[in-house]
Structure 1
Amino acid sequence: MSFKTLAAIAGAVAILCGCAITPSVPPSTAIVAPYADSVALSGRLNVRYLKDGKQESTTVKFDWKQDAQSTDVALFDPFGSKVATISVTPQLATLNLGGNKPPMTAPSVDALSARALGWALPVAGLRGWLQGHATAADGKPWSASPANSEVTTREGWRLQYTDWQRGSSPPRPKLIDAEHPGGGDVQQMALRIVISE
């Protein structure tokens, strides 16, 4: 598995484009819609992380689908070619690079990504983050709004919701920045997620 492919996978469930985005006018100060088990969305993600003392980064496009029991992520290079798929269920995580390469599997996405990438992908967190929901450091549920757009999660991720889908009511996230200082299974990381309208 090439480093470029691993970097693209790293971008996959972390997050997005490094371009400047002018924030839109918040649709309201209301919190986002309630958490939904079933979600389908797409976007771009950029991940910057520290590996062996060296700063690395990659940008990919993604399609994300989840239901109550599973999460499926497809990753694409900037030209639209699929580079990997990740499927996660409560029993198994599978990474498929396509071609003649056999799929990689592990009991959890954390174990799989740690083996393939050297750090754990926050898929469980992203199920809520992409909708504007998280578990705060104090263990309480947290919901984003234009007036309350930052939180530190129980796992140590600092989330900032910096832009919202135009005309959405209740507000739906468009741009999310996530940072982790490192420690445990997570290396120092900075993620940016841009969700398509």
Structure 2
Amino acid sequence: MNIAPLRPQNNYRSLVYGLCLMIYCALLSACSSTKPLTPQQAAMPRNLQENVQWNGRISLRYQEDQKEQSVTLNYDWQQTPSELHISLSSALGQTVAKLHQTPSSASLEQAKQETRYASNIEQLLVDHLGWSIPIDDLKTWLQGFDLQANKSAVAIPAQDNFQFQSKGWQLRFVNWQEDAGQIRPKRIDLEKMTEQFGLVKIAIIIM
């Protein structure tokens, strides 16, 4: 019996489907494999760190031209008191963008394109990638803190699925993890209704 080879179009569709399935399973695995914190862990004292380095995945859904758009990227996050470096890459490891923020400016680097500049990263993302995330607030949210109007950082309760609103975003801290004696979020879901992109939904996995 002869079996006809797959057409290129079918191969492409199979590849795309496989990649989407891998990303979806990875996001589910990151959530389901994390055990709930014990009462002792949840009660551990926490301090906002000035220097952090993380990586993980970010999945974003938004509306554009009356169609739902989605993107899932890997990220590397390096934060100091004065600077922030973020590298975004595809599921296959290809660098999509590099962002750098200082107290006075921000820059965006993409392959075969001139470096762009703006006053902050969020504006750069909107102007050149078509979507944005609350970068300044994530500096504290990723550590399990919320920055108040008086600039004081308040610890968010280390409870699975704890929800609250801040800066126009609805946040849900899906689950938490202990890492080298520090308690911090494992997954954060964010939602915000925007005029330009409709309902923006973001899921952030922190490794």
| TM-score between both structures, scaled by the size of structure 1 | 0.78
Contact 1:113 1:120 in 2 (8 A): yes
- Which of residues 35, 50, 54 in structure 1 aligns to 2:67? 54
Q: Which has the higher contact order (CA 8 A, sep 6+)?
A: 1
| TM-score between both structures, scaled by the size of structure 2 | 0.74
Structure number with higher strand proportion: 2
Correspondence for 2:113: 101
Q: Which has the larger radius of gyration?
A: 2
Q: Which runs of 5+ in 2 are unaligned?
A: 1-25
Structure number with higher helix proportion: 2
Contact 1:97 1:103 in 2 (8 A): yes
Q: CA deviation at 1:30?
A: 2.0
In 2, Cα distance between the equivalents of 1:24 and 1:103?
Answer: 42
Alignment of 1:63-142 (within 5 A): 63-98=76-111, 100-135=112-147, 141-142=153-154
Percentage identity across aligned positions? 26
2:166 matched to 1:193? no
In 2, Cα distance between the equivalents of 1:111 and 1:167?
Answer: 32
Give the length in aligned residue pairs.
177
Contact 1:137 1:156 in 2 (8 A): no
Q: Which runs of 5+ in 1 are unaligned?
A: 1-16
Correspondence for 2:46: 33
**C-alpha RMSD of matched pairs (Å):** 2.7
Quickly say closer, same or farther: Cα 1:92–1:140, change in 2 above 3 A: closer
